Structure 1
Amino acid sequence: MFLFLMLGLLVCSEPPGSSAVTPRFVLKGENVTLNVRKPDIQEGTIFAWKFKSRHNVVRLVNDKSFISPNYARRVEFSLEDYSLLLKNLTEADSGVYSALLSWDRDLKVAEYEVTVQERVSPVHLTVKPVSSSSDSCNVTVTCSSQDSSISSTLTCDGEDCSLEGGERSEVTASAATIKVYLLNGSAICNHSNQVSWREDRKEIDPLCLLSSGPVSLPGTCYLVRTVVLSVSLVSMVAAVITVNLRVQE
């Protein structure tokens, strides 16, 4: 009974040398190298790289490598360390690549999940005034990409600004992330995935004098503008009077 139990555990256990799946993210059109700890090849043993467990990419038999016709000129196999170079990748190349030793059964020695992604599209940040009072103002910040858009309310009190609910983010239809947040006095719109990122930013003035256009405030800004206009008007009147007096003399 004990012998049968041990045999059952050995059959059900994971074979030695197997490994966890390693994720690799690659920009579309770029190359990636899949490395493996070079195994000890015994006589009659076949080493192979497979795609999605069923498509042969390359096979090594008696120190001779055979690349599948479907991968001709698309991969390079190293006889020195058994690594696999995948070239000029497209989305169709995304999937699991396994390095296997085969004799009476397959022994997995390395496994990679390759994800090919396109470069994210540019983003645009817009800031539009909503409302204002003597001590605060509200604006809407909108972060837009090619296939997504998120908005949030920005409140400034003359000394500081904050986003309602803090940082906002959303996963787009292309599996990228778009988010809007505040950092060091600027509103930032960011669009990114694991291989690329784009951003747009605008400096935020706590008095709501935004790069998208000023917001009229009846507080400090209004008072300063009134004083400047009054002084200019008085100076102009005084100049006109002075010129008239000199002409009369």
Structure 2
Amino acid sequence: MTQLTGIKLSHVQGVSAFSNQSCVKMERIVFFSAFLWLCSCEVNELQYVFVRHGKDLHLDIKKSVKLDKKTDLFWKCNKTNNVAKYGFNIDPVVFDKYEGRAELFGQNYSLVLKNVQHNDSGDYTAVLAGGQDQKIAEYKVIVQDPVSPVNLTVDSVSGSSESCVLAVNCSTVDSSIHHSFRCDDKNCSQVKEKTSKPQNYSSSFTVYLQQDFILCNHSNQVSWEYSKIKFDCKSITVPSRATLIQISTSAGLFLLSVFIALCIVTKCKSQCVFKQQQQ
């Protein structure tokens, strides 16, 4: 079952492993994670749950619950939609809208909602209904799609085999990040940055340095995609404009030579046929 309870970003756990040069790059991730962590603090026992689209949602009741003839337990969505009901000494009931997708477990009165869709996002509460309603569990459920894959490429390389400047581009479906790094045989450092902000602010999208690699990371609370390039001025090469012109010129001359040769062969064959006809 894929879901994250409490708002945490898995990649934040590795921030301490980054080099000093990458710390600046990771400020956004740290700030983003800290903000979500503060939001995840239980206020009136509210808990955030992130679940991947199409997966199953599992909600528990952590308090001790006792039902009697005058007290039922309801799972509700957005206060007004009844999902399921537990009654005293009777089988659990799943209401029509959730029939076939919701399952109940009597031991701890937990709720499982299968194959969640985006419209399943909302506030889920477990309520004891008797002489007075009592809320005993509350969740803020957020259904997310997995993030799109990333494509990290080297746009250009300038300098020598000992020291060079790498211009890299990392792109997703709807956004991109451009970075330049000055590298030598020992390390790299960022020289400039130009970033277009991702349209989806519920995810983190960044390029940073880690050990001998330039990495691009795209993640949210339910998925993670990344790509990396090992920085090496000797091995990373991008054809220059002059090189491309030279290649194009060579190819053009080769094709022209082939064309001339075909014309000569064709003409010779025609002359031979003409002489044979005259004889």
TM-score under structure 2 length normalisation: 0.63
Q: Hey, what's the Cα distance between the residues in 1 that align with 2:196 and 2:68? A: 53
The change in CA–CA distance for 1:53 and 1:182 in structure 2 (over 3 A counts) is: same
- 2:229 is equivalent to residue 202 of structure 1: yes
Deviation of the 1:24 alpha carbon: 1.3
What CA deviation, in whole Å up to 9, does each residue of 1:157-196 have, x standing for no partner? 4542112479x89554262221111112111111111111
Amino acid at match of 1:101: L
What aligned pairs does 1:7-86 form with structure 2 within 5 A after superposition?
19-36=44-61, 37-64=63-90, 65-86=92-113
Q: Which piece of structure 1 moves more, 40-49 or 153-162?
A: 153-162
Partner secondary structure for residue 50 of structure 1:
strand
Aligned to 2:170: 143
Partner secondary structure for residue 155 of structure 2:
strand
Q: Is residue 162–residue 234 contact of structure 2 (8 Å, CA) maintained in 1?
A: no
Aligned to 1:101: 128
The change in CA–CA distance for 1:126 and 1:149 in structure 2 (over 3 A counts) is: same
Deviation of the 1:122 alpha carbon: 1.0
Amino acid at match of 1:49: W
What aligned pairs does 1:161-200 form with structure 2 within 5 A after superposition?
161-164=188-191, 171-173=198-200, 175-200=202-227
Aligned to 2:245: none
Q: Hey, what's the Cα distance between the residues in 2 that align with 1:204 and 1:63? A: 67
Deviation of the 1:22 alpha carbon: 1.3
Aligned to 1:211: 236
The structure whose residues are more often helix, as a share, is 2
Unaligned segments of structure 1, at least 5 residues: 1-17, 216-249
Q: Hey, what's the Cα distance between the residues in 1 that align with 2:54 and 2:107? A: 26
User: May I ask how many residue pairs the two structures share in their alignment?
Assistant: 195
The change in CA–CA distance for 1:210 and 1:113 in structure 2 (over 3 A counts) is: farther
Q: Hey, what's the Cα distance between the residues in 2 that align with 1:92 and 1:86? A: 12
Larger radius of gyration: 1
Aligned to 1:118: 145
The change in CA–CA distance for 1:45 and 1:169 in structure 2 (over 3 A counts) is: farther
Amino acid at match of 1:46: D
Q: Hey, what's the Cα distance between the residues in 2 that align with 1:169 and 1:185? A: 26
Unaligned segments of structure 2, at least 5 residues: 1-42, 241-279
State the percentage of identical aligned residues: 37
Deviation of the 1:29 alpha carbon: 1.0
Q: Is residue 127–residue 210 contact of structure 1 (8 Å, CA) maintained in 2?
A: no
**Over aligned residues, Cα RMSD in angstroms?**
2.6
Partner secondary structure for residue 209 of structure 1:
coil
Q: Hey, what's the Cα distance between the residues in 1 that align with 2:108 and 2:231? A: 54
What CA deviation, in whole Å up to 9, does each residue of 1:120-164 have, x standing for no partner? 111100112254379743221111111111111111245421124
